[in-house]
Amino acid sequence: MTTQDPSNGQHPVGPDDNADSANYPPAAAQPDAPTFDDAITHAVAGERDRIKQVTKKASHTRAGFMYVGWIVGVVALILLLVFIVANQDSVAVNFLFGTVELPVGVTVLVAAIIGALITGALGAARIIQLNRALKKASSHTD
Number of C-beta neighbours around residue 12 at 10 A = 8
State the pLDDT at residue 45: 84
- Please determine, for residue 60, whether its predicted confidence score (pLDDT) is greater than 80: no
- Between 13 and 133, the higher pLDDT residue: 133
- Between 35 and 111, the higher pLDDT residue: 111
- Between 60 and 67, the higher pLDDT residue: 67
- Please determine, for residue 83, whether its predicted confidence score (pLDDT) is greater than 60: yes
Q: What is the pLDDT of residues 69-82, one digit of tens each?
A: 899 989 988 988 88
Q: What is the mean pLDDT of residues 34-62?
A: 76
Rounded to 5°, the CA angle 56-60-62 comes to 145
Query: What percent of the chain clears pLDDT 70, i.e. is strictly above it?
Result: 71
Are 103 and 87 within 8 A, CB to CB? yes
- Please determine, for residue 32, whether its predicted confidence score (pLDDT) is greater than 70: no
State the pLDDT at residue 92: 92
Residue 2 pLDDT class (50, 70, 90 cuts): low
Residue 59 pLDDT class (50, 70, 90 cuts): low
The residue type found at 100 is V
Helix (H) or strand (E) holding 99: strand 99-103
State the pLDDT at residue 74: 92
